[in-house]
Structure 1
Amino acid sequence: MKNKHEVGDIFRLYGKEYQKQTNLPYKKLKVMHKIKICRTAQLGGHVEQCDHCSFERIAYNSCRDRHCPKCQTMVKEKWLNDRKADLLPCNYFHMVFTIPHELNPIRLLNPKIMLSYLFAAVSQTLQVFARDPQWKVQGQLGFISVLHTWSQKLTDHFHIHCLVAGGALSFDKNRWNPSKKSFLFRAQSLSKEFKKRYLGLLKKAYLNNELSLEGKMAKYKSKQEFTSFVQSLFMVKWNTYAKRPFAGPEQVLEYLGRYTHRVAISNNRIKSIDNGQVCFEYRDRADNNTSKTMTVSAHEFIRRFLLHVLPHNFMKIRYFGFLSHRNKKQAIKLIRKLIDPDAKIPQKTEETYLEMMHRLTGHDLLCCPKCKEGKMTIIKKLPNQFLNSS
């Protein structure tokens, strides 16, 4: 059943007017259009008919855009299934690195380079700590980093979630050095190093003339002003924290499913769309994660949503250390042998799209919804009007 309120509905009702008032780049226009036509006749589809009672239904195609609230479930499930092959018989830690809001204006002007530096600073910080003898692991870490750019209120809030294996592969690759079960690195110490690394990369980008400094940021074009701005950021608190470690591989997969393929807002959080106003639900972290509602104009909702459209081909999930694409195949096999060659690890499941949907929903998509006896078969293809016109 179609959700009563969707992001696509807001784009269909108010998108054209918003576009007239705002000079949007092509990337954001394309995202708006794809979400607007997702699972509609414009994207084409097919007609299915029951082979028993001749009941017919139309199934429209999805836009498959990574920003679309409708199109992440199957992508997430496939990705999670693939990650089973990477799990290790060890504890895991969840760490979060956040850049302060004072950097938001310059980040919005330079999305690709500033977000790339966010990944780089996090990676450098964790690997530096892994090499430091005081933390007892001394080796190469393996971790997955996932970029989030939003807060619960849809405002810009740039942070990275990291899933870190609880230990390190020794540099000679002969030992697995486990961390303490309840502790990997001190969050306060991580925060200081992360701040130093990120601001160092930011200063380097400025000196190489890689940053766009326009509008409110134009005053920082002079070296003196920019240096002063960077120094002021050293005085700001940078939030870095580590959550409680996971009990085992199953908990790790549950975590991954919650964080990796999120979009800025899910359709079920939108409570009403009326008279140019959008009401949506959010969790107030300052009030013990209490569920509350917020109402903003449709244009403000669109503006906030589009803040989180990522640069073209920008990878929001990245792999580092022994989990990098170059290393993981050999490293994981070796580490499993070093930790416990007999440990049971969740196995990757081989299943079709229909089998996956049955597992997730409990419904057989081929079963006729009317007579409950026949099977639905495709009898006609519907053309993709979007592809034909683009």
Structure 2
Amino acid sequence: MWSRRPRRRRSPSGSDRTRSATALPPICWKTESTSGSFRSCSATASWRTPPSTPRWRRGRCAPWSARSTGWRCSRSKRPSPTAKRLRASLEVADIFRVAGPAYRAAHAGHLSLHQLKVMSAIEHCRTAALGGHVEACEECGHWRIAYNSCRNRHCPKCQGAAARTWLAEREADLLPVGYFHVVFTLPDEVAGIAFHNKAMLYDLLFRAASETMLTIAVDPKHLGARIGITAVLHTWGSALTHHPHVHMIVPGGGIAPDGRWVSSRPAFLLPVRVLGALFRRLFLTRLIALHDSGQLAFFGAIAHLAERRTFLRHLSPVRKKRWVVYAKPPFGGPEAVLAYLARYTHRVAISDRRLIDFDENGVTFRYKDYRREGADRQRVMTVPASEFIRRFMLHILPRGFHRIRHYGLLAASCRKASLERIRALLAVAPPAEADVPDEPADASRPCPCCGGRMVVIELFERGHQPRAPPVAALPNRESSP
């Protein structure tokens, strides 16, 4: 089917391909009637009369490839070989389109409506099923069809634009200080419980981790100041296993109770052992309270944990275990912070770039084995298509769940006032407001053939195809009465 070679050298020790069908928790033990975040993206440009008369060219038009989101005119310049290779690469959507129907049939009654909508969104993203528009060049007459995106937050193809928009909004919030990266991870014994209670325990993970950071930071024994936090939830390991953890980006300093700005040490923010101990206590205390109030659900292999004594016995070794909290070295500057946020904030369980092959043997993809060191950490795994879909579905977040949150000085209720106060304390000028263009950027999208301006000439609805290409020139604005 679809194939792409890995972009790395083979290990000198021989083949490192791993064939795996590891048994993981099932996707869903009960049917839920929930709705998904499935939205259709409207065309980015609107109808308009071009200022000059375009010379539309006749000729049969064929798609660049069977999976392309655009078309080419037979008389226009052909796309470059590089562009063809990019369009021919394997996508998660290809696997869902081929193996998705059989997977849904095999798990009928065990997939929620929200999960089914996510699958449908990924399969139909940038296809005629979601509609689209036709755009043409005013100069050379080249025209192409662009299909709409699904805009689902779990779709690997739809995160680029969302990340750019989010980063543009956050760029003005950056401060001229060092930024630290702190990660809070749940142990396996608790992660299994969180899998069956995603909304409740993912929220508890956010609250316990943020309260831990704010409590230790304001302690005079440590930083002695109130800090700001941007937190991002990830639920996966590199091999698509269930591994919930929170990434935090924290400015290196805060506002003391007396109003002063207190800077952290250049390469040290807070002690991770102290953070881990408080995080463990806060999380377990509230987890037991949720169990006592009957708000937790248990299914399958952990159904016996519904009994309180068994539940406490299950948590007994976790109370003595060191919970993983680690802090990475500070970023090199605001640009490095933005680059990191671009990689992490809108990431999905697996990107299309990590896919290598999809055939009758299954799906082959790259992953990192963190138990190894150096170049040998990069590994390759092959799993059946149904197993790949199951692992991907493990990481579909509950409907309406916020995976990016802000705390402390960066909380939405006080962010603007806090940033103004911090800049005044640091004697830093406020960032200049970005110029807003009069026209949307998409209105002047360049032609891939001649560099001219592409304009939208037709919109078509979901499930429809556009009409035949135009054979006559649109009326010239200057010659119109």
Structure-2-length-normalised TM-score? 0.74
- Kept after mapping to 2: 8 A contact 1:82/1:348: no
2:248 matched to 1:154? no
- Which residues of 2 match residues 1-390 of structure 1 at below 5 A? 1=83, 2-22=87-107, 23-135=110-222, 137-172=223-258, 174-275=259-360, 277-288=362-373, 290-342=377-429, 348=434, 350=436, 355=441, 366-370=445-449, 372=450, 374-385=452-463
- The one-letter code of the counterpart of 2:373 is N
Tell me the secondary structure at the aligned position of residue 221 of structure 2.
helix
**More displaced 10-residue stretch of structure 1: 49-58 or 24-33:** 49-58
The CA deviation at 1:315 is: 0.3
**More displaced 10-residue stretch of structure 1: 325-334 or 241-250:** 241-250
- Kept after mapping to 1: 8 A contact 2:277/2:322: no
Radius of gyration: which is bigger?
2
- The one-letter code of the counterpart of 1:195 is R
CA distance in 2, matches of 1:98, 1:323: 22
The CA deviation at 1:352 is: 8.6
CA distance in 1, matches of 2:400, 2:309: 35
Q: Deviations over 1:43-92 (max 9, x none)?
A: 10011122233222100000000011100111111111111221122111
Aligned pair in 2 of structure 1 residues 365, 235: CA closer, same or farther (>3 Å)?
A: farther
Taking every aligned residue pair, what percent have the same amino acid on both sides? Answer: 40
CA distance in 1, matches of 2:371, 2:433: 40
Q: Deviations over 1:119-160 (max 9, x none)?
A: 00001101110122211x222110100000111101111100
- Kept after mapping to 2: 8 A contact 1:278/1:296: yes
The CA deviation at 1:3 is: 4.6
Tell me the secondary structure at the aligned position of residue 71 of structure 1.
helix
- The one-letter code of the counterpart of 1:321 is G
Q: Deviations over 1:191-222 (max 9, x none)?
A: 11111111111111111111012222221122
**More displaced 10-residue stretch of structure 1: 209-218 or 323-332:** 209-218
Aligned pair in 2 of structure 1 residues 16, 89: CA closer, same or farther (>3 Å)?
A: same
- The one-letter code of the counterpart of 2:145 is I
- Kept after mapping to 2: 8 A contact 1:142/1:165: yes
The CA deviation at 1:11 is: 0.6
- The one-letter code of the counterpart of 1:267 is D
The CA deviation at 1:345 is: 5.5
- Kept after mapping to 2: 8 A contact 1:14/1:298: yes
Aligned pair in 2 of structure 1 residues 27, 109: CA closer, same or farther (>3 Å)?
A: same
CA distance in 2, matches of 1:182, 1:4: 41
Aligned pair in 2 of structure 1 residues 350, 200: CA closer, same or farther (>3 Å)?
A: farther
1:360 aligned residue? none
**More displaced 10-residue stretch of structure 1: 264-273 or 82-91:** 82-91
**More displaced 10-residue stretch of structure 1: 278-287 or 30-39:** 278-287
The CA deviation at 1:346 is: 8.1
Greater per-residue helix proportion:
1
Count of residue pairs the alignment pairs up: 375
Tell me the secondary structure at the aligned position of residue 237 of structure 1.
coil
- Kept after mapping to 2: 8 A contact 1:11/1:32: yes
Structure-1-length-normalised TM-score? 0.91
Tell me the secondary structure at the aligned position of residue 184 of structure 2.
strand
Aligned pair in 2 of structure 1 residues 347, 189: CA closer, same or farther (>3 Å)?
A: farther
Aligned pair in 2 of structure 1 residues 352, 218: CA closer, same or farther (>3 Å)?
A: farther
- Kept after mapping to 1: 8 A contact 2:444/2:455: no
- Kept after mapping to 2: 8 A contact 1:85/1:348: no
- The one-letter code of the counterpart of 1:234 is R
Aligned pair in 2 of structure 1 residues 347, 264: CA closer, same or farther (>3 Å)?
A: farther
- The one-letter code of the counterpart of 1:73 is G
Deviating beyond 4 angstroms after TM superposition, the runs of 4 or more aligned structure 1 residues are 344-355
The CA deviation at 1:110 is: 0.5
Aligned pair in 2 of structure 1 residues 36, 262: CA closer, same or farther (>3 Å)?
A: same
Measured on the aligned residues, the alpha-carbon RMSD in Å equals 2.0
CA distance in 2, matches of 1:96, 1:351: 38
The CA deviation at 1:375 is: 2.5
Tell me the secondary structure at the aligned position of residue 224 of structure 2.
coil
